[in-house]
Amino acid sequence: MEPHLRTKGTNFYSIGLSYKKADAEIRGHFSICEEAKTAILNQAKQEGVEGLLVMSTCNRTELYGFAQHPFQLIKLLCEHTHGTVEEFEKVAYVHKNSNAVAHLFRVGTGLDSQILGDFEIIGQIKAGFKASKKVQMINPFLERLINAVIQASKRIKNETEISSGATSVSFAAVQYILARVPYVSDKNILLFGTGKIGRNTCENLVKHTKNDHIVLINRTRDKAEKVAGKFNLLVKDFDNLKEEANHSDVLIVATGAQKPTITKDIINTDKPLLILDLSVPKNVDTNVTELPNVTLVHMDHLSKMTDDTLQRRRVHIPKAEAIIDEVRSEFDSWMETRKFAPTIKALKNKLVSLKDAEINLQRKKMTDFNEEQATIISDRIIQKITNHFANHLKDENTSSDESIELIQKVFQIQNK
């Protein structure tokens, strides 16, 4: 059943791109920084877009909103990122109405994540919701839909084991280091950048490598010190980056810059150096691979590491999908009811006004008229008639748009 999503001649669309077809470089072109998110929302508001959710992570960039044509949303995305429409068309997807709703459910519940069962995405959806709400860009439909997705995500997390055996890009990075670097607890590990992935990597490094001299560098030292304090790491100044990089056996880059922060010029050591780039856009220039002693691995490669954990997780997909179907059907019922509720209300008001006029007339005509009894009977009949109409409109086989039009015509009513 296609939920009624149209409003004032618009449809609900999801437009975007993800790791499935777009590599890290192209995803980097469409990456939306916080300022750009605000600018997109404000411009959309000025252009009369009724509701919009903006989401950008290292694995995907997506816009969900109401538009007369999806190009309205594509244009907004391209105007506020480094991506072009031509580039977008090569790797993008556009989902409409019911399919856009289904897509948000899959994304929000980790079924569409690069690493199955990765629930970090729901945090991004909540943040996007908050940002849109702040500028009044969340309409009742989006509010109800996002809450339904959050509910489905919570249930899947609690009722299935789809996220068991912790794995994420940062976890995969540490597993990769453990598999490739012998005597890792004695090695010099430098972590550059303290974003979310950087912090998670710290935690995993400390937990799994038993290395007690991991060095942390961030552009702003106080941020690095906050993270370091939690995990008992050493903090060095940004000015020491070159020196520390050359002193390292493993360099993990988790910065959020728009251009590479690590290039070939920084490295002047001959000893083997493993560089892991966990950033989107890529923050390590591929020219480092011109150096024979350097091995460069990007997060896209790490995410393809299908281990036993991911195989075990796949078993839980059907259960997760059943939970989505359950929450989705409640949402669809709400949509249908919301669609015809104004007509039923208007019909009831029309019948009540007919009843009131008739009771007034009978009161004048009949001296022993029992108004109380007549009101009770009339109200019950009105309730039964409106129930019949409501059940008819709820029926899956009903073309509710046509029926609503007919009810309005017959009873000469208009939704307020």
Element (H, E) at 17: strand 11-18
**Among this protein's residues, is 58 annotated catalytic?**
yes
Q: Which helix (H) or strand (E) holds 63?
A: strand 60-67
- Measured in residues, the chain has a length of 416
Torsions phi, psi of 353, nearest 5?
-70, -35
- Considering only CA atoms, which of 318, 330, 6 is closest in space to residue 148? 330
SS3 369: coil
CB-based contact 413:350 (threshold 8 Å): yes
Strands 11-18 and 273-277: unpaired
Collapsing DSSP to helix, strand or coil, 23 comes out as coil
3-class secondary structure, 340 = helix
DSSP per-residue letters across 275-304: EEE--SS--B-GGGGGSTTEEEEEHHHHHT
CA distance 176 to 250: 11
Catalytic residue among 33, 58, 78, 202: 58
Are 221 and 194 within 8 A, CB to CB? Answer: no
DSSP for residue 50: -
**Computed from CA positions of residues 372, 373, 376, 382, in that sequence, does the dihedral angle turn out positive or negative?**
negative
Query: From CA 174, how far away is CA 302, in angstroms rounded?
Result: 10
The residues facing 66 across adjacent strands are 12
Element (H, E) at 216: strand 215-217
Catalytic residues: 58
